[in-house]
Every structure is written in structure tokens, then in C-alpha cells.
Amino acid sequence: MSKTLKNKVALVTGGSRGMGAATACALAREGADVAISYVAAEAKAHAIVRELQKEGVRAAAFRADQASRGEVERLITSVVERFGRLDILVNNAGVCIPGPIDSSDVAAFDRQQAINVDGVVTAIRAAAKVMPEGGRIITIGSGLAARTAFPGVTDYAATKAAVVAYSKGAARELAPRGITVNVVQPGAIDTDMNPANGPFSAPNIALTALGRYGRPEEIGAPVAFLASPAASYITGAVLDVDGGASA
């Protein structure tokens, strides 16, 4: 089987579980050496590293809080020091803290901004300094950025819309170096944050044309494609992977 990402090094932030872990595995199956970051789930992160190594690739886990610009910058530096290069950046780490727009919980608002926007922007800026010609930057957004279908997620949706705008600008800036920048916008995906049997399952399923939740590996697959040579003419794009919720 052809390994389309052989000799490439990828970093998946928030790669210890859910969509991040599935994406890391998808990249490893295509031959990429993979680094993942985590903030608290150390045991889970190292378990994913062992799974990645079974694909015959190098793998490592790094602790980094995406809310800290300094830690994000050190994460990029550490990956390059460990693996010698960085070809693929997947900004997967994110947080959703539902609440009304008149909530007094300013800390929740600030943390969503810090992780979902500042963390992504910092990672892109740091990666752009070290990424070689033909690199790939892919950010995991959300379908809520395009259509906020229910109340309580306004702040979260705004953070995801912000990274779409930033990614489009970055795609223009980095295009002369052959570096592509794209966004994958998942719909309802069966993860710890939003389980298919959770309290929001009924309205989420009702929104989708396919009538079901997506699986984490159904996000990993399009990310692996966007990271591959086959996607070299795709940049500044937003790919909805939402079971038809946006149809």
C-alpha cells in the first residue's frame, strides 16, 4: 500500500482522544511520523502513542496548554527538535463551554477565546516559521461557525468562525511557499464532548441529512487527504463534514 505521507512529520494538537486521536492514527497509517499534544490526559496520550508506533512510525506526546501562547510556541519548537522537521499541523484542540450570551461567566468566554482562537493563531504563526515548502495546515472548526442552529453556543460558534477567517488569510500569505491552509468543519461527531447517546443527540441527529452522528475516523480521513500530495491545489477551503447538516 502506498504511504502518501512517508517521511513527513505531523503534529495533532489535542490528540489524546476523539477526533484528534483518530486523525493522528489516520496520518500514521499514511506513513507520517506523528506528535500529539495533550493538557491533562497523559495516560491516554501515551496509549495513543503506542497505537501510532504499531504503524511503524515515530510518535511522541507533548504536554501543552493551548490557552498559553508560550506553551504553544514551545510545543512547535519541541516537535522540530524531536523529529527534525514539521510538515503538517492539525489544530484540533478546542473547548466548548455552552451558556447564554448574557452569562456572567467571563472566565468561560476567555478560555474559549484563548484555546479556540489564540491557540490556533499562535500555532499557525509558529509553524509558518519552520514549515518547509509544501507544508500543510489544517484546523478543525465547527459547522456551528456557518449555522448556529440552537442557542447557548454563540461564543463557541464565534471562535470557530474566527479561525475560518484567519485560515483564509493565512492561505493567501503562505501560498507562495506552497503551504496550504484549510479548515475541516465537523458536524455532530460521537466523542466524549458530544456523545451520540448524550442529551443533545436528538436535535443533532434531526439536523443531519444522514440521520446519524459521525465517527471520529470520518474526520481523520478528510484531514489525511488534505495533508496529502493529492490536495496540493486546495487552500483557503472550508470542508463541511457534517452528515448533510448544512445541505
What distance in Å separates the CA atoms of residue 17 and residue 6, rounded to the nearest whole number?
A: 23
2 is a domain residue = no
Q: What was the pLDDT predicted at 2? A: 80
Q: Which CATH number do you get for residue 27? A: 3.40.50.720
225 is a domain residue = yes
Nearest residue to 154 via CA among 95, 92, 94, 99: 99
246 is a domain residue = no
Q: What was the pLDDT predicted at 1? A: 60
Contact (Cβ atoms closer than 8 angstroms) between residue 204 and residue 213: yes
245 is a domain residue = no
What distance in Å separates the CA atoms of residue 147 and residue 150, rounded to the nearest whole number?
A: 9
186 is a domain residue = yes
Cell of 81: 527538535
Q: Cell numbers 491557540 correspond to what residue?
A: 119
Contact (Cβ atoms closer than 8 angstroms) between residue 93 and residue 110: no
Q: What was the pLDDT predicted at 51? A: 97
247 is a domain residue = no
Cell of 237: 477551503
The pTM score is 0.96
DSSP 59-125: EEEEE--TT-HHHHHHHHHHHHHHHS---EEEE---------TT-S-HHHHHHHHIIIIIHHHHHHH
Nearest residue to 92 via CA among 172, 8, 178, 189: 189
Domain hosting 83: range is: 9-240
73 is a domain residue = yes
98 is a domain residue = yes
Identity at 54, one-letter amino acid code: K
What is the number of structural domains in the chain? 1
List active site positions.
156
Each residue's pLDDT, cut to its tens digit, for the chain (247 residues) gives: 689 999 999 999 999 999 999 999 999 999 999 999 999 999 999 999 999 999 999 999 999 999 999 999 999 999 999 999 999 999 999 999 999 988 888 999 999 999 999 999 999 999 999 999 999 999 999 999 998 888 889 999 999 999 999 999 999 999 999 999 999 999 999 998 889 998 889 989 999 999 999 999 999 999 999 999 999 999 999 999 999 999 9
Strands (E) located in the chain: 9-12, 33-38, 59-63, 88-91, 136-140, 180-186, 238-241
